[in-house]
Structure 1
Amino acid sequence: MTALVRHLADFGDRPAVATATEELTYRDLAHRVADSAAILGNRRRLILMETRNELGTLVPYLGALARRHVVLPVPPGRDTADIVATYRPDTVITGDGGVEFLAEPSADALHPELSLLMSTSGSTGSPKLVRLSRENLISNADAIGKYLGIDENDRAATTLPMSYCYGLSVVHSHLRRGAGLILTDHSVVDDEFWELFLRHRGTSFAGVPYTFDLLDRVGFGEMDLPDLRYITQAGGRLAPQRVRRYADLGARRGWQLFVMYGATEATARMAYLPAELAAARPSSIGRPVPGGSFAIEPLDDWPDPGVGELVYRGPNVMLGYAGQRADLALGRTVDELRTGDIARRDPDGLYQVIGRSGRFVKMWGLRIDLQRIETVLSEQGVTAFCAAVDSDDEDRLALAVTDEHDPGEIRRLAARAAGLPSAAVWVAALPELPLLPSGKPDYAAVRGAARRAAEPAAGSNDIRRLFVEVLHVSEAEITADSTFLRLGGTSLNYVAMSIRLERMLGYLPPDWQQLPVRELERLATLPGRNRRWFSASLETGVALRAVAIILIVGSHAGAFQLWGGAHILLGLAGYNFGRFCLRAVPRAERVRHLRITIASIAVPSIAWVAIALLITDDYHLSNLLLANKILGPFDSMTAGRLWFVEVLVYVLIGLTLLLAVPTIDRLERRVPFTFAAVFLAAGVALRYDVLGLRLGEQAMFTYLAFWFFAAGWAAAKAQNNWQRFAVTAVVVVCTAGYFEEGSRQLLVLGGLILLFWLPAVRCPEPLPALAGLIAEASLYTYLVHFQVYPLFAGHPVVGVVAAITAGVLIARAVTEARRWLRGGSTVGGLLDDGVRRVGHEDRPVTVLTRLPDQP
């Protein structure tokens, strides 16, 4: 047993790692690491490792360290040709944990102390690497664990990639102290991240400056995170006012903010600002980490007393740089780290960085501090990245800001701060500031964007234009990290977007609704897939909705008798309630969007009932309240057709009132599947009339049908196959005997099983577009079909086609009206993602078909 495996095993049954689907104790992790180490063997290897925040990366990474191999982590999917050509790794571990032995271990020596090779910039564009030793890793992990007070009760979420020294330091410091990791590649803007964080009682997470931009967007200040103990920040300077704001927020909410300073060359951390000083000293980088020390060395350009270059010394200072394979045999070539930062030591012993030697440029006869310009703009409430551009006639100051700012105003502010004429400043207003994978500013991208900003603007690409057309957003709202869900995608948009995206790409990528725009743009550049007869994908939910409305209209019109569609759709409503309405957003946002959801179902239905009361005898006044099953008349075949809408509206009202209670809301976030399973159990109790309520046959097809909704909800929250199997078993048992007709039982059961287990179906290429049209118009089809198909008495098939066509035409008209009225106050459907996105209104949607299948 190696020392590392023994270290892990010594923590026994303490929680070590949690993912969306697995939880490992330290003993479990030690066994897996030992197995992985055995696969890699004893002869030292140079291993190129594609990293993801998954067990498929963590286990082989630890296995490699256990056998003293040398690991070179890289982000997955990046071009590593230069690194491979320069260093000739003999082994590759892919992002899913697969091991590829490219060659026998090279005869070229690997220094005995060498453990890790890291990129200096967070990208893989340059073969220049930092050589880190085992002592570097251990000493820095120990130092971090000491000043953060990490213990066995801590659970840190992985917000940063393991190919970045900051992200890797979180792993090292927690495993060193027997604390837990919550492994996830989800961003802090993803509901899945916060659901996982709450479920596993996360106590900390790390952020670069851009992370805090994202936290502001998702309303982090209002989130209820009962176990959060602290947040760490590094990877670049965070504006002092934001440090103070987050420190004050933490003081109110019971957690702490640790501002840290570091570099890859120092393994990760060189300094930290004690949390209790963050609000009072937000401009400071703090004091050296345990075991380290700083010195201030004077510079000719900085004659001020006590100001100079910050130099760090400590056991975590790298062995040195590598630029070629032969350098991997070298031992220590540096003993100190010259940071390039200009700093001073304050009387209380804290250090403050006031500039950077490498961030000064000579331009128009002036010496300009680029960092100072960023600071001046930050004080004006503008986050900007500043660089210099070599132009044909004269050098230019290049700035990138987000497109919420006026480029002309930014140009004026920057020119004044730099003492330059406005013509010397180029400003690129971008949807999102460009970042390296490490989260640091991408100044090369800033220069490129500024150059392009000075040229005629190019047209938008096809992917972004698709988002504009389907979601009715402006192109300015779409960033490289935008996803369908983050931009306010709804159930209806989901249908239309999936169909049009498949046409564009030639196939539908898995989980496309969560893929960022940059990834969809990349996929759009790849060669198209070969078209075959069954080459298209159709979302199962969309297919079920389209089939259900056809079955409902056809059965009502007498074209055939296939009942059960409404109960499938009730399960679908619950499934998407769990997926989209119960997202990890502040409680007030959840409740607001649940209210919007209720209105989106009730308002169109009531509006149509009001119209129908004027022209038909099909409805009663009780239908205006969606309360026919409560107020009667109970013997009306026509009025009873709205039972499905009534059930759904009152179920949602009840759940909204419950989730408005802070304690209930916290409980749902902590144990989402168990919470939904309790409601499923209650629904099953109603289904079997355990309390002896004897509500009768009418109630059986209305409020006792709640268990279908609850089953869909529980299936959506299932975290593994066993939980999904359990929900499926409940559905199988409860469906038996629920309907008199055996065909109806089989239809409903089959539809729900497909929904729970099959994300999409393969079909002929034209079918998704047709199914999408029908599903998109399903509510309107339902509302009008009772009045349309009777016009074609004696020709039921014609009546069905006419009713569906009428629904499609109305849906098209409503879509065009929405486009024309864009920017107004609108409501979203039940399959809405349930999140109001900062900077734009909620998208108007038509509502999914919540339809009855019998009088």
Structure 2
Amino acid sequence: MDDRGDMATARSSVRSAPGVPFATTLRAHGGRLVVVTPHGVELTYDQLADRVEEAATRLGGGRRLVMIEAANGIEPPVTYLAALAGGHPVLLTAPDDRHWNTLLSIYDPDVVFRRENEWTLRERRDGSCHDLHPDLALLLSTSGSTGSPKLVRLSAGNLQANAEVIAQFLDIRDSDRASAALPMHYCYGLSIINSNLLRGAALLLTENSVIDPAFWATFQKYRGTSLHGVPYTFDLLERVGFDRMHLPSLRYVTQAGGALPPQRVRRIAELGRRRGWRLFVMYGQTEATARMAYLPPELAESHPSAVGVPIPGGSFEILPAEDPAAPGQGELVYRGPNVMLGYAESSADLALGATVDALATGDIARRTADGLYEVVGRSSRFVKLLGLRIDLCQAESLLAGRGHVCACAGSDDVLIVATPSPDRRAVRRLVQEELRLPADRIRVVAVDELPRLTSGKIDYPAIQELANAQDRRPAPRTDLSVRERFAKVLGYADTAGIADDATFVDLGGDSLSYVRMSLEIERALGHLPDDWATTPISELERLAARPARMTGSRTTTVETSIVLRAVAIILIVSNHIGLFHILGGAHLLLIVAGWGFARFRLAPGGAGTSHAILRSAARIAIPSMLWLAWRAVDTTEVGWSNVLLIDNYVRRGATGYWFVEVLVQTLLLFALVFAIPAVRRWEQRHGFGFALVMLGVALLAQQLAHNTTAFAERWLATHGVVWFFVLGWLGHRATSTGQKALVAAIAMLTVPGYFADPVRETVITVGFAALLFLPRLALPGFVVRMAGLIAGALLYIYLTHYAVYFATLPHLPALAVLPLCLGAGILTWTATQALQRAVRRLAQRDQGGEVAVQAVAGPRAVTSSSSRSSASLEQRTDMGDAPVVGDAPIDSAPGS
């Protein structure tokens, strides 16, 4: 059975050349945008050509084997293109030491390009020690990051032919801007680079995952036109609400790297039809320079199980199967100008020319009556148990159809099923019944998430190793799991209601709980991953299961915002007790509050709804109002306008609580703003621009505020200080170097002079600069733990410290009163957390396990006193600072 494309397939039709054309003709596209680097640097084709020519000069004229660590920055593609343009064979490798060292020892490259402290090109010898075949252009691994020395040898003709045909059937245009997030050493990721450069399109290079807000900020800013992913990418897209995103510039989406279930293909294709973009399901292998077939988008909904038709210039043949029970099925063989030269297993093989003219794919396929091809299994993915021939791919499909995500491996002795499903007994029963296997021949391995290669494909050898390691697994850990830590911090009575794909943001985490949660993640993993707040729990658990990294360092990394919170509340309390007089903490904390608002409440996937914002306001308002109600009963100086959190406008109570009033009023204001769907969509599409507009509005509002001898409206009223909150919001939305520089410039133009107090303004600007440019700090472990405690208990330190220092300051020096104030707040916070957990456990028991997670218990007074005198302190009006509530500050008396 044979099916041919519409172009000649003879390998001889692709002429060998000194350089690959798409690498030698970059200047033909002139001043068009070619790449946006992960750091936001924009390059034109002319600028890229300059860099490529400079790198080519360093590589020299004689052909040499160049080994490149293929990270997703600008440097590896530049060196790759320089080598291709100069006719140097390239060996691309994953950026991990094991793979690098294996290939380095076996293939002995002449030149290596790798990131050490910085990107470095090292010439290991003059000239080359290898006999390099004239057609050889590229060496790629067949096995992702597993370290196999077996490589695929590809020619310049292979690369050019595959780039041309992909550009043809995807209709790539010079106006396109493609997301380049897949690894460059993976043939799919590399083909995106090659085919877009061929057509003069632009690449959006990124080191971020699709779950990261920074990924979408870049995609929307540059009006990305194409997305590319493996099946796991589409799992992540579902988690971040891709179906709700407004992406008007998106033209098409491609999928390869393994089969998606037909129902998901149909669902994604339907989504694309509604939103105006096309889905290309593609099929290929490294041995075919990435691509052999594609499913025309108009057929994706009606034929979602098909891999489609051969690419132009290629052809398929199905070899008859030996199994008479499967007529029309057989191994799929591909022919075309993109078929590899052959394999290499040592440096001696680099001298070989073409050793194959057809590619036996190892896939079992059939051709439908419509002329489409369907892959139904792998010839190597079979095991024979008790005389039964088990198709592992079909076993996976069977389990998926019953709602169980599984990966199957095994031998002729045992079938191994790895699954994150919580009901492993159901998986075992289903395998027994459907495959007619006895229980002793089935091994179900529990995993938090299926192991994957860097390409996103299932790592089947790792599944085999997991099964082998079960018997030698050490005793279970007695410390808290990642999931138990989430339950503890977020108030779940147990872990039963926490799904594998849930994230901190999904579970209602916000600025109030993130300090404590980040420290718990640090303890569980030994480090704090970037964007942990939007990382699924199953992924965090997988990271926790890895062996601890021994760095020899006594320092621990901590988010800068946590340190700023702790330092600010210490400044505030120290000012109040007269230890020293350095103002500015409260307004800095207001900036940090805006930063956290953007991070948690405006995260992708719907976290920025009005309901979520109102919940955050309630978590601040309820404890504060309960405390202030007690103070109002106990003293005449704290009024009911304080209890209602409106005194910064009514001005009949204690001025010292202006900060909590500002913060709650600000959250209520933005809950109202984001109740309008069009506004939320605008913010999602133009995050930085929207925040910039909001800052302009807030700066106009503060022009209406005026200080008087009775009240400093510009410093304490919401319309006078909301711009600090929005400045922090804008800072979080600044993802590129240029945007951060703009935000820093705005801060330097607006903060200095605002208070006519250089020290206060320095505290604010330096703190904001640290937040903007130093996301993490390395500090001794005990300092990090103490900062986390203080930052986590911030609201309660603020609410209780007046009563504590009034009772103790007449009898103790200020330096001794400070730790008493901090300790009392921490104890109150800890007691409140314990009370909340107890209430929820009781509620869950009474309600059969279903209980709201976000109930808030108010604080108790830790000190009783005759507060008449203390109230007079709360009434002070020397315009200082207050504490912060988690991401949002709460100022105490103005005398901070």
TM-score (norm 2): 0.85
- Alpha-carbon separation, structure 2, partners of 1:42 and 1:482: 54
Match of 1:94, SS state, is strand
8 Å CA contact retained: 1:775, 1:848: no
Mean alpha-carbon deviation: is it higher for 426-435 or for 294-303? 294-303
Cα offset for 1:106? 2.6
Percent identity reads 45
1:251–1:726 CA distance, 2 compared to 1 (3 A): closer
Alignment match of 2:108 (pick from 81, 88, 94) = 88
Which position in structure 2 is the counterpart of 1:551?
Answer: 571
Cα offset for 1:293? 0.8
Cα offset for 1:499? 5.5
1:181–1:528 CA distance, 2 compared to 1 (3 A): closer
Which position in structure 1 is the counterpart of 2:878?
Answer: none
Aligned residue runs from structure 1 range 344-493, under 5 A: 344-389=366-411, 395-404=413-422, 406-452=423-469, 458-460=475-477, 468=485, 471=489, 490-491=510-511
Cα offset for 1:323? 1.2
1:717 matched to 2:717? The reply is no
Cα offset for 1:225? 1.9
Cα offset for 1:548? 1.7
Mean alpha-carbon deviation: is it higher for 736-745 or for 196-205? 736-745
8 Å CA contact retained: 2:188, 2:257: yes
Letter of the structure 1 residue corresponding to residue 162 of structure 2:
N
Alignment match of 1:529 (pick from 552, 571, 577) = 552
Aligned residues: 827
**Which blocks of at least 5 consecutive residues in structure 2 are unaligned?**
1-17, 845-850, 857-884
Cα offset for 1:180? 1.6
8 Å CA contact retained: 1:431, 1:476: no
8 Å CA contact retained: 2:590, 2:889: no
8 Å CA contact retained: 1:272, 1:286: yes
Cα offset for 1:508? 7.4
Alignment match of 2:84 (pick from 65, 69, 87) = 65
1:581 matched to 2:597? The reply is no
Alignment match of 2:784 (pick from 768, 788, 803) = 768
Deviation digits for residues 763-804 of structure 1, max 9, x if unmatched? 555332222222211100111223332223524625443332
8 Å CA contact retained: 2:229, 2:255: yes
1:609 matched to 2:628? The reply is yes
Deviation digits for residues 514-558 of structure 1, max 9, x if unmatched? 896489659963434254xxx565543222212221222233344
8 Å CA contact retained: 1:116, 1:131: yes
Alignment match of 1:77 (pick from 80, 87, 96) = 96
- Alpha-carbon separation, structure 2, partners of 1:803 and 1:566: 17
Match of 2:712, SS state, is helix
Cα offset for 1:669? 3.3
Cα offset for 1:364? 0.7
Alignment match of 2:180 (pick from 144, 151, 158) = 158
Which position in structure 2 is the counterpart of 1:235?
Answer: 257
1:708 matched to 2:724? The reply is yes
- Alpha-carbon separation, structure 1, partners of 2:557 and 2:457: 38
Which position in structure 2 is the counterpart of 1:649?
Answer: 664
Alignment match of 1:28 (pick from 47, 68, 78) = 47
- Alpha-carbon separation, structure 2, partners of 1:86 and 1:514: 40
Match of 2:631, SS state, is helix
8 Å CA contact retained: 2:56, 2:86: yes
- Alpha-carbon separation, structure 2, partners of 1:369 and 1:720: 49
Which position in structure 2 is the counterpart of 1:836?
Answer: none
1:211–1:183 CA distance, 2 compared to 1 (3 A): same
Cα offset for 1:417? 2.2
- Alpha-carbon separation, structure 2, partners of 1:554 and 1:666: 44
Which position in structure 1 is the counterpart of 2:873?
Answer: none
Aligned residue runs from structure 1 range 114-263, under 5 A: 114-263=136-285
- Alpha-carbon separation, structure 2, partners of 1:712 and 1:120: 46
Letter of the structure 2 residue corresponding to residue 93 of structure 1:
F
Deviation digits for residues 217-268 of structure 1, max 9, x if unmatched? 2222222222222221111111111111211222222222211111111111
Which position in structure 1 is the counterpart of 2:32?
Answer: 14
1:727 matched to 2:743? The reply is yes
8 Å CA contact retained: 1:505, 1:528: no
Letter of the structure 2 residue corresponding to residue 851 of structure 1:
D
- Alpha-carbon separation, structure 2, partners of 1:746 and 1:375: 62
8 Å CA contact retained: 2:513, 2:886: no
Alignment match of 1:541 (pick from 561, 573, 577) = 561
Q: What is the alpha-carbon root mean square deviation over aligned residues?
A: 3.4
8 Å CA contact retained: 2:266, 2:304: yes
Letter of the structure 2 residue corresponding to residue 543 of structure 1:
V
Letter of the structure 1 residue corresponding to residue 281 of structure 2:
V
- Alpha-carbon separation, structure 2, partners of 1:253 and 1:511: 28
Letter of the structure 1 residue corresponding to residue 592 of structure 2:
L
1:437–1:232 CA distance, 2 compared to 1 (3 A): same
1:500–1:585 CA distance, 2 compared to 1 (3 A): closer
- Alpha-carbon separation, structure 2, partners of 1:689 and 1:29: 50
8 Å CA contact retained: 2:569, 2:585: yes
- Alpha-carbon separation, structure 2, partners of 1:100 and 1:485: 44
Match of 1:211, SS state, is helix
Letter of the structure 1 residue corresponding to residue 242 of structure 2:
F
- Alpha-carbon separation, structure 2, partners of 1:92 and 1:476: 50
Letter of the structure 1 residue corresponding to residue 723 of structure 2:
W
Mean alpha-carbon deviation: is it higher for 598-607 or for 165-174? 598-607
Letter of the structure 2 residue corresponding to residue 269 of structure 1:
R
Which position in structure 2 is the counterpart of 1:835?
Answer: none
Which position in structure 1 is the counterpart of 2:682?
Answer: 667
Match of 2:137, SS state, is strand
Cα offset for 1:707? 2.1
Match of 1:766, SS state, is helix
1:342 matched to 2:364? The reply is yes
Which position in structure 2 is the counterpart of 1:832?
Answer: none
1:575–1:15 CA distance, 2 compared to 1 (3 A): same
- Alpha-carbon separation, structure 2, partners of 1:223 and 1:653: 25
**Which blocks of at least 5 consecutive residues in structure 1 are unaligned?**
830-844
Letter of the structure 2 residue corresponding to residue 826 of structure 1:
V
- Alpha-carbon separation, structure 1, partners of 2:323 and 2:136: 37
Alignment match of 2:592 (pick from 547, 572, 589) = 572
Alignment match of 2:823 (pick from 793, 797, 805) = 805
- Alpha-carbon separation, structure 1, partners of 2:387 and 2:482: 44
1:848–1:694 CA distance, 2 compared to 1 (3 A): closer
Mean alpha-carbon deviation: is it higher for 59-68 or for 660-669? 660-669
1:720–1:242 CA distance, 2 compared to 1 (3 A): closer
Which position in structure 2 is the counterpart of 1:598?
Answer: 617
Alignment match of 1:788 (pick from 786, 804, 811) = 804
Cα offset for 1:133? 0.8
Alignment match of 2:640 (pick from 604, 618, 621) = 621
- Alpha-carbon separation, structure 1, partners of 2:232 and 2:141: 20
Mean alpha-carbon deviation: is it higher for 13-22 or for 450-459? 450-459
1:174–1:487 CA distance, 2 compared to 1 (3 A): farther
1:574–1:33 CA distance, 2 compared to 1 (3 A): same
Mean alpha-carbon deviation: is it higher for 309-318 or for 436-445? 436-445
Which position in structure 2 is the counterpart of 1:837?
Answer: none
- Alpha-carbon separation, structure 2, partners of 1:47 and 1:616: 78
Deviation digits for residues 476-497 of structure 1, max 9, x if unmatched? 9999999977887654655446
Match of 1:399, SS state, is strand
Mean alpha-carbon deviation: is it higher for 323-332 or for 41-50? 41-50
- Alpha-carbon separation, structure 1, partners of 2:41 and 2:788: 36
